[in-house]
Structure 1
Amino acid sequence: MTTLLVAHGTRNPRGVAMIGDLAQAMARRLDDDVRVGFVDVLGPDPREALDGIRGSEPVRVVPAFLAGGYHVYSDLPGHLHQATRATLLAPALGPDVALADALLARLLLAGWHPGDPVVLAAAGSRDHRAQADVAAMGRLLTRRVGAPVRIGFVLPAADGSGFPPVAEVVEALRAESRPGTRIAVATYLLADGLFARRLHDAGADVVGAPLGLHAAVVELACRRAQSVATPPLAVAAR
């Protein structure tokens, strides 16, 4: 059964390559053909990607998003309903305990030490469902680092909803902490790009890399694909 991995899209070539590499890693793990589509910035979009897949059996669609929101609940389903074949739509990647494991691993590689305050940095969304998912991810990471994790958005909503800018959260933590305390940022982004680069200017001492091809991420994406292998969960094309 063919799988379609759908990501947001970025103009950063490294970010685009990472999504392609994730699809290849999934293909090896699933022993399956895994294609890629994007909902924004570049193509192919999900409908175009689906139309390029031969055969008539349903295609498993895995949203490569770390939280629900407009793209997961409205944009992507809209593309699928315009396609010419049936699809099996999996849940978004996050929140999940596997991502907490990957975030902790990225922090450790960046030089985080237990006791360093941590900020979970997410892309940002006005959608309350996405905000709730990020809050849930913060709680999962809190269990991993053994201390409360603050949350900040790389791009906060213009209406002030959601979480404050990452730089503000880092600054507040520094003001509350003893002199010399190191502040760490856990990058809750899948791929490299403009948002990931901005985090290095947020004033933190340690910045974890994007989740990328961490083994836990690859395994999670495969589990999402396998979770919709039965017809009752199909999203039928019109």
Structure 2
Amino acid sequence: MRLRATTIYADAWGLWRADWSILTAAAGMFVFLPRLGLSLLVPEFPDMSKVTSSNPDDPAFRALAAAVSDWMQHYALPVIGDALVEWFGALALVAIYLAARRALVGEALLTSLRLLPRFVLAMLIWQVPMGVLAFLLLPLPFVMVPLLALVMARMLLITPAILAARPIGAAVAIGRSFTMTRGNMLVLASVTLSVIIAQYLIQIPFLALDQWLVKNGPNPVARLIADTFVAGAIALAATATALIQVAVWRRLSSS
């Protein structure tokens, strides 16, 4: 079945109009609040760009190594915990529609909790290699961004597959997503990229303001406002992605 971007957007918008209150509550609880807390309580990772030497005897290198070690010791677990909660939120947003034909919110959350280890494994299988590749392609953003969008398009249906086609393993869910999105890679890449770009455009001014406040005399109230908008953009993007996943899954699974 050939998909159109307008059809996907229309289906996703219809889901949002019908269930916006439930979706807002779920995204707020499991995406917005964890990300806001992380932004306010966890400092940025030490800046590694200022150290050009890898000589262990270099004082600047030793200072950076000590800063990284200290950051990892104090903040690694909160960052990992936040990632798990946000992944649970992403899974729960889709589970509202695909955990069962008429799943209650509580049932969807319990299903998401049971399937979370499988979902995390599936995410790690493809996101870790893509993260390494993206890091290597940082000097070539015009290559990196389209490539990431194409890969994300093929991986778009992992979450729906884990929920709607269960019991299904992580690797099988990846294969199912790859198979079902065949023939629609470009349209799904464009839809996925549109969400990423929209999130980025919303975040830009507030991220810049937050960084300026951190370096030039932080104002707690101003930081809270800036970080609230950033976390809100992330929650909106997570919700939009979930609705797109549901819309695409329903279209392709019924064809």
Decide: shared fold, TM above 0.5. no
Q: For CA contacts below 8 A with separation 6 or more, give which structure has more relative contact order.
A: 2
Higher helix share: 2
Q: Which structure is larger by alpha-carbon Rg, 1 or 2?
A: 2
Higher strand share: 1
